[in-house]
Structure 1
C-alpha cells in the first residue's frame, strides 16, 4: 500500500505563523489543476504496482478548489493508479470554505475525511494568527460537518502567547463537544521569515513560552486520553479506527508520491521534492519535465529518519528492524545511545521496542536528534 499527497499551493490569506509554500493569488489556479493532473499521469509508473490506499489534499488550502476541480484530480489518480477498494481520501479545509451547501456537496463526492483548520475557538487568537475564518464560522461548520462526515479531524494550536491553561482547556473541551474522533495539535512555532517572526522580533507579539507549551501539551494528553483518544503520534490523537491512514503510513516508512509545487516523495531509498515555486512548476509541467531534486538516502539517513518518526509514535523504534534493515552497527549504536535517556525516565525499552515515556513525549524530537548517527567521514 502507498499514498499520494497533493499539494494545493493557494490560500485566501497568509497566516502569520505559516512557512508552507502557497500563493494568495488565484490567477493560475485553473492552470495549476491541469498541471497537477499532468504530473499524476507523468508519474504513474513510479510506485511499481503498489496499490494506493490514501489520497491526501494538503496545502496551502485545498478547500479553495471547487468540488469539480477536486474530483478532476481524484479521477486523474484513479485513471493512472490502482486504488484500494476503500481508500482514505482527505481534504484539508478552512471553516470559511465550509458552508452548509459546500459540506453537503463534499459529502456526495469521493472525499471521505475532512481535516479542518480550526486552530482556536477564540476570536483574538484567530486575529493574531491572521486566520481567514472567525470563531463563529468554526463552530457552525463543525456542527454541520458532523451531520455528513463520520471521519473528521480538527487542528488546534497551543502555546499561544498569553493563553492560560484554562483557556487552552476550553479549546480542547469545545472540540470534544462536537464529537470529533481525531484531533491534531501543534505548538505555535516561530518560523524564520514569517510574519510572526517579524512581530516577535519587534516586540509586537511575545515570544511563545516553551514552558507554557509543555503545560498545554500535558493537559491535552491527559484530557484527550480521559475521553477515549489514543495518543498515537506526538501531535495526533484519534479514537480507535480513526487514526489518519495517510499520516500513519508516512510515520511507518511506506512509499508515497508528492504531487504539486513543493511536494515531497519517498520510495524507501530516496527522497525527491518538487520546486517550491508556482511559476517554475507550471513551466516544467508545460514542457513535460518535472522540476524536482532527488536525494539518495544513505543507511545513516534511513536510520535517522526511522528514529525520528518512530519515537514520535506509539509503535516506537524496533531494535530488530534496525538490525535487519540497517545492520548490527546501527542496532548497537541505538541501544548504547538510548541508555542514558532510559535512565532519565524519558525512554523505555519494552521487549526490543524503544519508545518515549509519558515524561519524554514532549521531548521526542530533541531525544531523536540526540540518537542520530552522525557520519564524520
Structure 2
C-alpha cells in the first residue's frame, strides 16, 4: 500500500492553536493548484512500482478549493500514477465550506471520505479558538453530509480552558447523535509560535490543565468504546471497517508521497520535506525544481520512529520485528527500557493473533495498558535510543 498526501496551504483565518503551514491570502490559490499538479508529474517515477491506495487532501483547509480544482488534481494523479481500484480519497473540510450544494457536488466526485474540523459544538469554544465556523454551521453541515456520505470523520478538541467534563461529554454525545463512524480527538496543545501561546502569556486565556485533559481523554475512550468504536490509535476511534486507511498506512510504516508546501514524504529508508514557504515553492516549481530536502534514516532513526508510531496504535510494537529488523542489541535495549513501565502497569506484552499486516500467526506485542494510553508519547520517548549503531 502507498498513499499520496496533498497539502493545500490556505485558510480563511488562523485558528489560535494552529502551527501548521498555511496562508490566509488566497491570491495565489490557482497558481498553487497548478504547481501541485506539476510536482505530482515530476515525482511520478518515485511511485513507478507502487499502487496508490489512498489520496488525502490536507492542510490548511482543502475545502476552500473549488470542486473543479480538486477534480483536476485527482485526474492528474490518475494520469501519472497507478491507482488501486476503489481508493480511499479524503478531503479535510471546515463546516463553513460545506453548504448543501457543495456536499452534493462532492458526493458525485471521486472523493469518498470527509474529515470535518468541528473541534467543538459550543460557541464560546469556537470563538476562543478563532474558528471560521459557528456552532449552527457545525450541526447543519453534519446533518447534510450524513445524507450523502457514509464515510465521515470529525475532529474534536478536549482540554480546552473552562471546559467542564460535563460539557466535554455533551460534545461527544452530540457527535454520536449524527451517526458518525470515525472520530479524531486531540488535547489542546500550546505551540510556541501560535496566537494561543501569546494569549496565555498575557493572561487572556488560562493555560490548559494536563490533569483535566487526562480526565477528558478517559471520558472520551470510555464513551466511544461503549458505543462500539475501536480505539485503534491514540487520537483516533473508528467503527469496524471505518479506520482511516491513509493514517493507518502512515502508522504502519508504509510509503507515502507528500505534495505541496511543507508536505513530508517517506519511502521506508529516507524522509523528505518540501519548503514551508508558498512563494518559494511556487518559484521552484516554475523552474521545474523540487523545493525539498532529504534525510536518509539511520537504523536508530527507524527504530525510534517505529517505537513512536507502534505504541500509539492498537497494533503495538512487535518484539519479533525489533529483533529481526533491528537486531538483538536493540531488542535487549527495548526490553530493558520498557521494564519499569511493565512494572508500573503502563505497558504490557500481549500475544497477537492478527496477521492482517504480515505478522506471524502468534506474536508478542508491546503496547500501552489502559492506564498508560494517555502517557504514550512520554513513554515512547523513554524507549528511544540515541545511537546503537
TM class by smaller structure: over 0.9
* 1:370 aligned partner: 382
SS at structure 2 position matched to 1:136: helix
SS at structure 2 position matched to 1:45: helix
1:331 Cα shift? 1.1
**Equivalent residues in 2 for 1:60-71 (5 A)?**
60-71=60-71
Measure the CA separation in 1 of the matches of 2:131 and 2:236: 21
1:326 Cα shift? 1.2
8 Å CA contact 1:18, 1:194 repeated in 2: yes
1:188 Cα shift? 0.3
RMSD: 0.8
8 Å CA contact 1:156, 1:186 repeated in 2: yes
Find out whether 1:112 has 2:124 as its counterpart. no
1:209 Cα shift? 0.3
1:334 Cα shift? 1.0
1:176 Cα shift? 0.1
Measure the CA separation in 2 of the matches of 1:107 and 1:350: 42
1:231 Cα shift? 0.2
* 2:252 aligned partner: 252
Aligned residues: 377
8 Å CA contact 2:330, 2:388 repeated in 1: no
Measure the CA separation in 2 of the matches of 1:26 and 1:241: 37
Measure the CA separation in 1 of the matches of 2:140 and 2:113: 18
* 1:338 aligned partner: 338
8 Å CA contact 1:47, 1:255 repeated in 2: no
**Equivalent residues in 2 for 1:113-262 (5 A)?**
113-262=113-262
* 1:43 aligned partner: 43
1:47 Cα shift? 2.3
Find out whether 1:359 has 2:371 as its counterpart. yes
* 2:323 aligned partner: 323
8 Å CA contact 1:252, 1:309 repeated in 2: yes
1:122-168 deviation digits (Å, cap 9, x = unpaired): 00000000000000000000000000000000000000001000000
* 2:313 aligned partner: 313
1:350 Cα shift? 1.1
* 1:301 aligned partner: 301
TM-score (norm 1): 0.99
SS at structure 2 position matched to 1:125: helix
8 Å CA contact 1:47, 1:267 repeated in 2: no
* 2:268 aligned partner: 268
Measure the CA separation in 2 of the matches of 1:79 and 1:330: 43
1:301-333 deviation digits (Å, cap 9, x = unpaired): 000000000000000000111111111111111
8 Å CA contact 1:126, 1:135 repeated in 2: yes
1:40 Cα shift? 0.3
8 Å CA contact 2:90, 2:114 repeated in 1: yes
SS at structure 2 position matched to 1:162: coil
1:336 Cα shift? 1.3
* 1:76 aligned partner: 76
Task: Kindly report structure 1 stretches of 4+ aligned residues shifted beyond 6 Å.
Answer: none
8 Å CA contact 2:2, 2:50 repeated in 1: yes
SS at structure 1 position matched to 2:171: helix
1:58-115 deviation digits (Å, cap 9, x = unpaired): 0000000000000000011111110010100000000000000000000000000000
TM-score (norm 2): 0.96
Structure 1 unmatched ranges of 5 or more: none
1:376 Cα shift? 8.3
**Equivalent residues in 2 for 1:13-28 (5 A)?**
13-28=13-28
